[in-house]
Structure 1
Amino acid sequence: MSTRTQNPAAPATARFRTTTTAVTAAALGALLVPSLATDAEAAAVSARALRVAASKQGSPYQWGATGPYRFDCSGLTLYAFKRVGKRLPRTAAAQYNHTRHIRASQRHRGDLVFFHSRGHVYHVGIYAGRNRIWHSPKTGAVVRLERIWSNSVWYGRVR
Structure 2
Amino acid sequence: MILQPASFARLIVIVVCSAGLSSCAGHTPQPRTDRPVSPAPVAATPAPGESAPVRSVGERAAVVAVRQVGMPYRYGGASRDGFDCSGLIQYAYKQAGVTVPRTTGSQWRGLRAIDRDDMQVGDVLFFRIRGRMSHVGMYLGDGRFVHAPSSGREVTIAALDSPFYQRAFIRAGRP
Counterpart of 2:172, as a letter, is Y
What's the TM-score, normalizing by structure 1?
0.68
Give the SS at the match of 2:71: coil
After superposition, what is the alpha-carbon deviation per residue over 1:83-136, rounded to whole angstroms, capped at 9, x for unaligned?
A: 111111111111111111010000011101000258842000000112211000
1:157 aligns with 2:167: no
Specify the structure having the higher radius of gyration (Cα). Answer: 1
Q: Is the 8 A contact 1:125 1:134 kept in 2?
A: yes
1:23 corresponds to? none
Unmatched 5+ stretches in structure 1 = 1-40
Q: State the partner residue of 1:7.
A: none
Structure with the higher fraction of residues in helix conformation: 1
Task: State, as a whole percentage, how many aligned pairs show the same letter.
Answer: 37
1:38 alignment counterpart: none
Give 1:78's match in structure 2, choosing from 90, 94, 99: 90
Who is 2:147 aligned against? 135
Distance 1:85 1:151 in 2: 32
1:21-67, Cα deviation, whole Å (9 max, x unpaired) = xxxxxxxxxxxxxxxxxxxx9x7000000000001110000100111
Show the 5 A alignment for 1:92-131: 92-116=104-128, 120-131=132-143
SS in 1 for 2:56: helix
Please say if residues 57 and 142 of structure 1, whose CA atoms lie closer than 8 Å, have aligned partners that are also in contact.
Answer: yes
Determine the structure 2 residue equivalent to 1:37: none
For the residue of structure 1 that corresponds to 2:146, the secondary structure is strand
1:144 aligns with 2:156: yes
Any conservation in 2 of the 1:126–1:135 contact (CA below 8 Å)?
A: yes
Residue type of the alignment partner of 1:152: A
Q: Residues 61 and 143 of structure 1 are in contact (CA less than 8 Å); yes or no, is this contact kept in structure 2?
A: yes
1:87 and 1:108, CA in 2 relative to 1: closer, same or farther beyond 3 A? same
Number of aligned residue pairs: give it.
Answer: 117
How many Å separate the matches in 2 of 1:119 and 1:89? 23
**Whole-Å Cα distance in 2 between the matches of residues 121 and 127 of structure 1?**
17
CA contact (8 A) 1:72 1:136 kept: yes
Query: Of 85, 90, 98, which residue of structure 1 is paired with 2:102?
Result: 90
